[in-house]
Amino acid sequence: MSETISPAERLKTQVELLPILVRAANVAGLAIVILVLVTIVASLAPGFLSPFNLFTLTRNLAIDTVIGFAMMVVLATGGMNLAVGSIGVCSIMFTGYLLEGLGLPIVVSILGGLAVGAILGWLNGILVVRTGIHSFVITLATASLYFGAMLILTHAEAFRELPDAFNALGKARYGSYSALLLVTFVVGASLFVLFKYSLIGRQILAAGANPVAAKLSGTPVDRVIVIAHMLSGLCAGVAGVMVTARLAAALPSVGQDWLLPSFLAPLLGGTLLSGGVVSVVGTFLGAVLVTVLQNGLVLLEVGSFWVQFFLGLTLLVAVALDRWRSVYVQRAGLKR
Amino acid sequence: MTASALLVEKATKIFPGVKALANVDLELKSGEIHALLGENGAGKSTLIKIVTGVYRPDEGSVSVMGSSVDFSSPRDAFAAGIGVVHQERNLIPRYSVAENIMIEQLPTKWRLIDRGEMNRQAKHWLGALDLNIDPDVPVNRLSVAQMQLVEIARALSQQSRILLLDEPTASITENEIKVLFDLLRRLKGDGVAILFVSHKLEEVFELCDRVTILRDGRNACAGVPIEDLDKQRVVAHMVGREDALGDIGERHASIGKVMFELKGVSTAAGHQDIDLKVHKGEVVGLYGLVGAGRSELAKAVIGAERVTGGEVFVSGERATVRNVQDALRRWRIGYVSEDRKQEGLILLHSVAKNTAITVWHRLGKFLNLFSDRQERDAIISFVQKLDVRTPSLEQDVANLSGGNQQKVSVAKWLAAEAEILIVDEPTVGIDIRTKGYLHRLVWDLAEQGAAIVLITSDLAEMVLLADRVVVMRDFRIIGNLQNTYNYEQMSRRIMGCIHEADVVVGRADGAPALKGA
């Protein structure tokens, strides 16, 4: 195949379609599955397309996508962040404290919440890099550590008297859709630019795909891994603030159920578990699939036990897809 | 004595883009030691992998003791009585010597492993090699040479009728080689068929009965009695035409000032008192056996391993290389790794990204942002200059042939404008044509003013390319020889250098003492 080759001069003009098609096929395949699912759900459950349901659905979607981004950024490095939920709830409680406890302006409180997320993520990164222990173990530990520290500091007491102007953010809508989607799009666009056009993004992917080769080519592997964890914490913080606005309260119980959706969205969307490949659009579509599935099952009144069951099943499918992709890549590499 | 123990007929193996083997024949008789020779990339490893069930031939047949076989896994080959010592280490590091030796045939008592019996049997096979090491020691505590011998002991313990040895002497000393050869002769007397792969022609002429030579994936000769050959003819078979060595044109050396210098450098990896000078325009070869510390030295130079003492100078300026970025950006030192799949390339990523990784940091203007087009424009001339055969710059590197992958891993250092380039085993597993191309490239780069350190285990390549050969052993530099471009003479001097050091330096590897007989 590649040995039968075009002369090098043609490189400049020729745009290779196949890799683009393969990538597009992944996204397109996901889009088709979503369309089919939406059609089925909409025809079985008439309430699906009602303005109320669309608003709830898109609000959940906005949040789940950002949770997915939080995991995606660390998956890019070949690691994982099991502390996504714990970081999220720390941001939530800190934002609530700033708003209600200190009465600080909304913008300042939000920035404070995001800063907590970024700092806790940064700490994860530092621990991973300094100890050389896999992020799975580190973030498993810090997940409990952060959550415990939050409980100690807040005595597990919620902040329920948040300013109306803040709570309005959660109710804001654009047509039938939640305005929180705008936040998600801003985060998504930033990550897209990061991974496609920036030095740091490329270095994160290189470090994720092959840390040894990246290091020997002059990539500051440790630094970019810390940055990826910090961005992950920041995304978890964004998701936390969004949840706070949605609930109009800062609850210490939020975040414990984030782990599953955080893996589902990126893995369904084509981000490799082994690192080095991410898809921002894919993560968004993955989150759409999960949200629609969840929402549809609720509307069809199959019961919440089945929702858990189906989400687990979906994750298995996503992981199988991931496995297939990486085996495919590996084969391509070993053939020579 | 005339039965074919192992017969390979017209074996062909095609990897996408490369015909690794084409119609290769190999016949091994019981009671003979048969040499398999060829340059790196000639197809020896592929042939061995076919015989040991790692690969399946696309065409051709393999038969053992007269009956045709079709191995689908290495266990099949083992069951058919084929024992093998692979070139790469195949020991399980934390397991004991005895466990590693007996792993395929653990003695049991009531379905539990009988450790006493296991150690006793292991000791027996170690004894056959005059090896006095405790079978209970985990193998990661052994020296490289001892590990090699443990692997040989394992192959012996299987009492195979067919024994394949892929470069068994690469990292063991003269004494151990002698013990091994005596043992192989004994096995031969017992009727075992032995295939012996080595780069050291002296050993082949000392030990072997017949010779099969591969070149470019084909038989250059098959089963020729050793008496009918001399070294010149063997080399001619291996490299092809007599003038093959002259193929890459003339070397127009113009050696300039000292560009790079190490003075009394020691490293965390274990190097001591390393003195090395490389001039502008010079190609300095770094030769040594496996485990001599060459690649480790290269990594220390580029800041990937810690330098613990001594001084480094770049263009006369005292240099402290903190990390690889520092080496790349400030001191313009590049390192083409010996292991392109693990250390050289990011297989998952495109040709463009792999080539541009060393220049990303200077592509962006605002916030370090840049587009794919900027990336392409920055590196396309280097990809073209090296004639990388790829359908597009977006192609994943995993889909290129070995030779083209190697070109990409060189191209990124050209793009980075490295002035000091360390090239580690640049032509391992690469087809002859690309090899010649890379050889010429090394000279071209030197002639354009780079200082080049060439690490290669291929002595012919070393003698062909280097202006000067620096010999390493046990993480020290033990010789510095001007190249005479005479293979016979240089190989004698280099080997002499290494063996002389054997006496002087002794075995300074800190591992448990190995008491040879």
Instruction: Please give the DSSP secondary-structure letter assigned to residue B217.
Output: T
Q: Sign (positive/negative) of CA torsion B197, B203, B208, B210?
A: positive
Q: Report the residue of A216, A221, A277 to disrupt the B interface, i.e. the one with the largest count of B CBs within 10 Å.
A: A216
Where b means 16+ CB within 10 Å and e means fewer, B240-274 reads: eeeebbebbeeeeeebeebbbbbeebbbebbbbeb
Q: Is the pLDDT of residue A153 over 90?
A: yes
Contact A2 B401 (CB under 8 A): yes
Contact A217 B412 (CB under 8 A): yes
A155 touches chain B (CB under 8 A): no
Q: Residue ranges of chain B with pLDDT lower than 70?
A: 1-3, 16-18, 40-41, 88, 171, 240-247, 290, 429, 431-433, 499, 501-517
Report yes or no on B340 lying in a domain: no
Domain boundary among B416, B433, B452: B416
A12 touches chain B (CB under 8 A): yes
Cβ–Cβ contacts within 10 Å for residue A219, how many?
28
**A83 token code pair:** 């502390």
Report yes or no on A104 lying in a domain: yes
- Residues B92 and B130 both lie in one domain: yes
Report yes or no on A308 lying in a domain: no
What is the distance, to the nearest Å, from the Cα of residue B375 to the centroid of all Cα atoms in its chain? Answer: 34
Contact B398 A193 (CB under 8 A): no
> What is the DSSP secondary-structure string of B352-407?
HHHHHTTTGGGT-SSTTB--HHHHHHHHHHHHHHTT---S-TTSBGGGS-HHHHHH
pLDDT at residue B432 in the model: 65
pLDDT at residue B504 in the model: 45
pLDDT at residue A95 in the model: 96
Report yes or no on B516 lying in a domain: no
- Residues B362 and B315 both lie in one domain: no
Using a CB-CB distance cutoff of 8 angstroms, which residues of chain A are in contact with residue B304? Answer: 215-216
- Residue of A19, A217, A277 lying closest to B394 (CB–CB): A19
- Residues B382 and B296 both lie in one domain: no
Q: Is B11 helix (H, G, I), strand (E, B) or coil?
A: strand
Rounded to a whole number of angstroms, the distance from the CA of B31 to the nearest CA of chain A is: 35
In terms of residue numbers, what domain contains B218?
A: 4-246
Contact A205 B16 (CB under 8 A): no
pLDDT-derived band at A155 (thresholds 50, 70, 90) equals very high
Using a CB-CB distance cutoff of 8 angstroms, which residues of chain A are in contact with residue B344? Answer: 213, 216
A residues 273..292 contacting B (CB < 8 A): 276-277
Contact A209 B347 (CB under 8 A): yes
**B454 token code pair:** 């060439």
Contact A11 B348 (CB under 8 A): no
Report yes or no on B327 lying in a domain: yes
SS in 3 state form for B472-492? EECCEEEEEEECCCCHHHHHH
Amino acid type, B232: Q
Report yes or no on B339 lying in a domain: no
- Residues B464 and B381 both lie in one domain: no
pLDDT-derived band at A3 (thresholds 50, 70, 90) equals very low
Report yes or no on A328 lying in a domain: no
Contact A336 B368 (CB under 8 A): no
pLDDT one-digit tens code per residue, A113-131: 999 999 999 999 999 999 9
Contact A205 B349 (CB under 8 A): yes
In terms of residue numbers, what domain contains A136?
A: 50-255
Contact A11 B390 (CB under 8 A): yes
Q: Is B161 left (phi over 0), alpha (psi -120 to 50) or beta?
A: alpha
pLDDT-derived band at A21 (thresholds 50, 70, 90) equals low
- Residues B361 and B324 both lie in one domain: no
A16 touches chain B (CB under 8 A): yes
Q: Is B27 helix (H, G, I), strand (E, B) or coil?
A: strand
Q: Quote the longest CA-to-CA distance of chain B.
A: 77
Contact B389 A5 (CB under 8 A): yes
Using a CB-CB distance cutoff of 8 angstroms, which residues of chain A are in contact with residue B360? Answer: 199, 202-203
Using a CB-CB distance cutoff of 8 angstroms, which residues of chain B are in contact with residue A197? Answer: 369-371
Gap between the terminal Cα atoms of chain A = 12
Using a CB-CB distance cutoff of 8 angstroms, which residues of chain B are in contact with residue A203? Answer: 360
Q: Is the pLDDT of residue A9 over 70?
A: no
pLDDT one-digit tens code per residue, A305-314: 888 888 888 8
Average pLDDT rounded to a whole number, residues A254-269: 92
Contact A237, A109 (CB under 8 A): no
Rounded-to-integer distance, Cα B508 and Cα B32, Å:
36
A132 touches chain B (CB under 8 A): no
Report yes or no on B342 lying in a domain: no
Give the total number of structural domains in chain B. Answer: 3
- The values of phi and psi at residue B97, to 5°, are -55, -45
Q: Is the pLDDT of residue A12 over 60?
A: no
Q: Is the pLDDT of residue A17 over 80?
A: no
Partners of B274 in the beta sheet? B265
**A180 token code pair:** 């929180």
- Residues B101 and B204 both lie in one domain: yes
The CATH number given to whatever domain includes residue B449 is 3.40.50.300
Contact B342 A8 (CB under 8 A): no
- Residues B430 and B411 both lie in one domain: no
Rounded-to-integer distance, Cα B150 and Cα B172, Å:
12
- Residues B360 and B462 both lie in one domain: no
Q: Report the residue of A3, A4, A6, A205 to disrupt the B interface, i.e. the one with the largest count of B CBs within 10 Å.
A: A3
Contact A277 B391 (CB under 8 A): no
- Residues B74 and B197 both lie in one domain: yes
Q: Is the pLDDT of residue A315 over 70?
A: yes
Report yes or no on A19 lying in a domain: no
- Residues B412 and B424 both lie in one domain: no
Contact B400 A202 (CB under 8 A): no
Using a CB-CB distance cutoff of 8 angstroms, which residues of chain B are in contact with residue A333? Answer: 341, 347, 398
Report yes or no on A274 lying in a domain: no
Amino acid type, B327: A
**A62 token code pair:** 């906005």
- Residues B316 and B430 both lie in one domain: yes
Report yes or no on A206 lying in a domain: yes
Domain boundary among B222, B246, B270: B246
Contact A202 B357 (CB under 8 A): yes
Using a CB-CB distance cutoff of 8 angstroms, which residues of chain A are in contact with residue B17? Answer: 1-4, 336
pLDDT-derived band at A304 (thresholds 50, 70, 90) equals confident
State chain A's mean pLDDT as an integer: 88
Nearest chain A residue to B20 by CA: give it: A336
Report yes or no on A122 lying in a domain: yes
Rounded to a whole number of angstroms, the distance from the CA of B411 to the nearest CA of chain A is: 12
A residues 18..37 contacting B (CB < 8 A): 19-20
Contact A15 B369 (CB under 8 A): no
Q: Is the pLDDT of residue A161 over 60?
A: yes
Contact B272, B454 (CB under 8 A): no
Rounded to a whole number of angstroms, the distance from the CA of B342 to the nearest CA of chain A is: 6
pLDDT at residue B113 in the model: 85
pLDDT one-digit tens code per residue, A214-242: 999 999 999 999 999 999 999 999 999 99
Rounded-to-integer distance, Cα B408 and Cα B351, Å:
7
Gap between the terminal Cα atoms of chain B = 32
Report yes or no on A207 lying in a domain: yes
Give the total number of structural domains in chain A. Answer: 1
Domain boundary among B183, B218, B246: B246
Using a CB-CB distance cutoff of 8 angstroms, which residues of chain B are in contact with residue A277? Answer: 348
Q: Report the residue of B321, B326, B331, B360 to disrupt the A interface, i.e. the one with the largest count of A CBs within 10 Å.
A: B360
pLDDT at residue B426 in the model: 86
- Residues B302 and B381 both lie in one domain: no
Contact A15 B392 (CB under 8 A): yes
Nearest to B170 by CA among B44, B292, B263: B292
What are the respective helix, strand and coil percentages of chain A, to the nearest 5? Answer: 75, 0, 20
pLDDT at residue A137 in the model: 96
**How crowded is the C-beta side of A172, counted as CA atoms within 13 Å?**
15
Report yes or no on B341 lying in a domain: no
Report yes or no on B517 lying in a domain: no
Rounded to a whole number of angstroms, the distance from the CA of B363 to the nearest CA of chain A is: 9
Nearest chain B residue to A217 by CA: give it: B358
**B17 token code pair:** 């883009």
**B393 token code pair:** 């710059």
Work out how many CB contacts closer than 8 A connect A with B.
152
- Residue of B16, B302, B345 lying closest to A213 (CB–CB): B345
pLDDT at residue B112 in the model: 87
Contact B344 A2 (CB under 8 A): no
Rounded-to-integer distance, Cα A118 and Cα A153, Å:
19
C-alpha distance from residue A18 to each of A21, A44, B287, B389 (Å): 5, 38, 44, 17
Report yes or no on B133 lying in a domain: yes
**How crowded is the C-beta side of B180, counted as CA atoms within 13 Å?**
28
Contact B129, B135 (CB under 8 A): no
